[in-house]
Chain A
Amino acid sequence: MSPDAGGRPAKFEPVPTPETAPFWEGTSLGELRLQRCGPCGHAFFYPRTGCPRCGSTDVAWERASGRGRLHTYVINYRAAPGFEDQVPYAIAVVELEEGPRMMSNVVGVPNTPEALVLDMALEVDFEPRGKVAVPVFRPAGSTS
């Protein structure tokens, strides 16, 4: 990753593919998007052109509620580039209200074992990251 204007290392920047572009277009607009299978109704993440449950390619994008729960996490003590000011920080898996889970970070709350309680309610927020925005989560009801 190239350093920012201040010479500090930048955080890892994802590069969309044609198949995942609608997801990243959504995050840039402040929307968390999922795909749902037409025939079987399964909602899934990460983006793919076919339903991983039934194999149908009749899948459509939809806007997710952005609500979820803290499913599990670690607290990383070794900063990745760009995370130096945040260490130690949680790398979390959030279970979305629609069912799918995704890796993310938790903001707006101390990243400590005491404050990060499994199954706590979260809501999505977005962190600008180069050409895209990365989904992060904050405690439900807190403001960004």
Chain B
Amino acid sequence: MSVNATTCIVGAAETERIGVVPELSSLELHADGARRALADAGLTLADVDGVAAAGQSPIAVAHYLGITPTYVDATGIGGCSFLVHVRHAAAAITAGLCEVVLITHGESGRSRVGAPPRVMDAASPQGQFEAPHGPTGPPTMFPIGVLRFMLETGLTHEQLASVAVAQRRWAARVPRAMYRDEITVDDVLASKMVAYPMHLLECCLVTDGGGALVVTSAARAEAMPGPKPPVYVLGTGEAAETPLVSMMEDFTRSQAFRLSSAAAFAESGITHDDVDHLMVYDAFAHLPIYGLEDLGFVGRGEAGAFIAEGHTSPGGRLPMNTNGGGLSYTHTGMYGMFLVQESVRQLRGEAAAQVDGVEVSVAQGVGGMFMAAGTLVLGTAGAAGQ
């Protein structure tokens, strides 16, 4: 079964506020995004028969809102969960299991209000074979392959820093972005060392916020048009590699990125040349570099120069992370929801830093630390052949 253009995203919205939002709990951030996404779709709670969420249980979210769903998806595989929720929703809707799926994210990542505690089970594989060696959170683990990547591909520290520079150029055009002052490679390299080779400006923000999506069948979207043009789901992918970053098969490539994106591209039938806009989950500056190479936009060892030369910056031939990304826009913890939100905005023509003529957008999410991945190929009605 293919889900190429069988479903659409008809509602998409972020929480009213993102960044520092201590007055809202994690659960309320889910609800705020959900209400706004439904309003964006011109739908009500009564239209929703499916709920998907990560961070909070979809049952908790559904009950809090007043929905009794007959389809639930609690896939919780880190920041790419929401892209995978879209994939599962597309399949479920296409198979007739449900009609309207609400996908929610809310995370009090910075203020930690009503947020689940972060605990490490000392008897888990991570607890036995990684935690004893002194990591202090993702900045000290996720980039562990970067030095290997540099050795094998020639990536330079300056090129790595240029990822943060390129994304800040986009953020400067986005009023909702947390950091908007343009920066230079020297600024990045002069920022505090967090975990060599990663400087502070190469690490994501830690924020509060959320958002939601409403997915339904293309047939319903076309029969009952909402206020906004539908965004078609053209291709989807998901994959998982390892719960332990130290067990990656190759520290210079993500198997999950490769498998997930290959599935999504194949399902959609697009080629790389068809992609007008790209979002690659950037918890850290090395992720867009891995992403460009693992998704096949550039060859091995070419991504650093590609970004440093401005090809992903405003005016470049492959606009990437046009909201400013996790490095400059916002990063609640499970950032993937914001990838999809920006892809939808670009395809609708309503982004703050709008790129001209976006017909096809690809969103590439990561879960955990190269643990998992989800990919969406999204397009306008024209791209879907409607």
Give residues in A with beta carbon < 8 Å to B.
11-17, 20, 45-46, 71-80, 82-83, 86, 88-89, 91-93, 101-105, 113, 118, 129, 134
The interface residues of chain A lying within 8 Å CB-to-CB of B211 are none
**Chain A residue, CB-CB nearest to B131:** A12
Contact: A93 with B251, CB < 8 Å? yes
The size of the chain B interface, using a CB distance under 8 A, is: 36
A13-B122, A77-B195 are contacts. A72–B133 as well, Cβ < 8 Å? no
Do residues B148 and A71 form an inter-chain contact, with CB atoms below 8 A? yes
Write out, one digit per residue, whether chain B residues 194-229 have a CB within 8 A of any chain A CB (1) or not (0).
111110000000000000000000000000000000
Tell me which residues across on chain A come within 8 A of B148, comparing CB atoms: 71-72, 118
8 tightest A-B CB contacts, nearest first: A75-B196, A72-B148, A103-B246, A14-B128, A15-B122, A15-B123, A80-B134, A74-B195
Separation of A88 and B194 alpha carbons in the complex (Å)? 10
A12 to B83, CA, bound (A): 34
The answer to the question of B153 belonging to the interface, with a C-beta cut-off of 8 Å to chain A, is no
Within 8 A of A (CB), among B136-169: 136-137, 139-141, 143-148, 151
Task: From B125, B130, B136, B246, give the contact of A76 (CB < 8 A).
Answer: B136
Chain B CB within 10 Å — which of A72, A78, A129 has the most?
A72
CB of B129 within 8 Å of the partner chain? yes
Q: Which residue of the partner chain, among B128, B139, B151, B195, contacts A20 with CB atoms under 8 Å?
A: B128
Contacts of A15 in B (CB 8 A): 122-123, 127-128
**Residue of B whose beta carbon sits closest to that of A52:** B247
Any A CB within 8 A of the CB of B95: no
- The docked-state distance in angstroms from the alpha carbon of A82 to that of B247 is 25
Q: CA of A16 to CA of B132 in the docked complex: distance in angstroms?
A: 12
Whether A74 and B197, one on each chain, are in contact in the complex, defined by CB atoms closer than 8 angstroms, is yes
CB distance from A111 to the nearest CB of B (A): 9
Q: Which of B120, B123, B144 contacts A74 (CB 8 A)?
A: B144
Cβ contacts under 8 Å, A13 to chain B:
122, 132
Name the residue on B nearest A23 (C-beta).
B128
Interface pair A78/B140, CB less than 8 Å apart: yes
Would you list which residues of chain B between 161 and 198 have a CB under 8 Å from chain A? 192-198
In the bound complex, what is the Cα–Cα distance between A92 and B125 (angstroms)? 17
Give Cα A33 to B385, complex, Å: 58
B20 close to A (CB within 8 Å): no
Specify which of B120, B130, B251 lies most central, judged by the most chain A CB atoms within 10 Å of its CB: B130
Residues in B neighbouring A78, C-beta threshold 8 A = 136-137, 139-140, 194-195
Residue numbers in A under 8 Å from B132 (CB-CB): 11-14, 129, 134
- Let me know if B140 and A91 touch, CB within 8 A: yes
Cross-chain pair count, CB within 8 angstroms: 113
Docked complex Cα distance between A22 and B244 (Å): 20
Binding site for A on B (CB under 8 A): 120, 122-123, 125, 127-137, 139-141, 143-148, 151, 192-198, 244, 246-247, 251
Q: B122, B130, B151: which contacts A103 (Cβ < 8 A)?
A: B130
Residues of B within 8 A of A93 (CB): 144, 246, 251
CB-CB under 8 A from B244, the residues of chain A are: 46, 103
What residues of chain A lie closer than 8 Å to B247, measured between beta carbons? 46, 101
Give Cα A74 to B195, complex, Å.
Answer: 6
* Nearest neighbor of A127 in chain B, beta-carbon distance: B132
Specify which of B122, B193, B251 is in contact with A77 (CB 8 Å cutoff). Answer: B193
Shortest beta-carbon distance, B250 to chain A, in Å?
Answer: 11
A–B Cβ pairs within 8 angstroms, 25 of them: A11-B134, A15-B123, A16-B128, A45-B129, A46-B125, A46-B128, A72-B147, A74-B196, A74-B197, A76-B195, A77-B195, A78-B140, A78-B195, A79-B134, A88-B193, A89-B134, A91-B135, A91-B195, A92-B133, A93-B251, A102-B129, A103-B129, A103-B133, A103-B246, A105-B133
B131 cross-chain contacts in A, Cβ below 8 A:
12, 14
B198→A74 contact, CB < 8 A? yes
Q: How far is the CB of A2 from chain B (nearest CB, A)?
A: 12
Q: Are A76 and B122 also in contact (CB < 8 A) when A13-B132, A105-B134 are?
A: no
How many Å from the CB of B126 to the closest CB on chain A? 10
In the complex, A86→B135 CA distance in Å?
13
Chain B's closest residue to A87 (CB) is B134
Q: State the Cβ distance, A75 to closest chain B Cβ, in Å.
A: 4
A77 touches B196 (CB 8 A): yes
- Closest beta carbon of chain A to B371's beta carbon, Å: 15
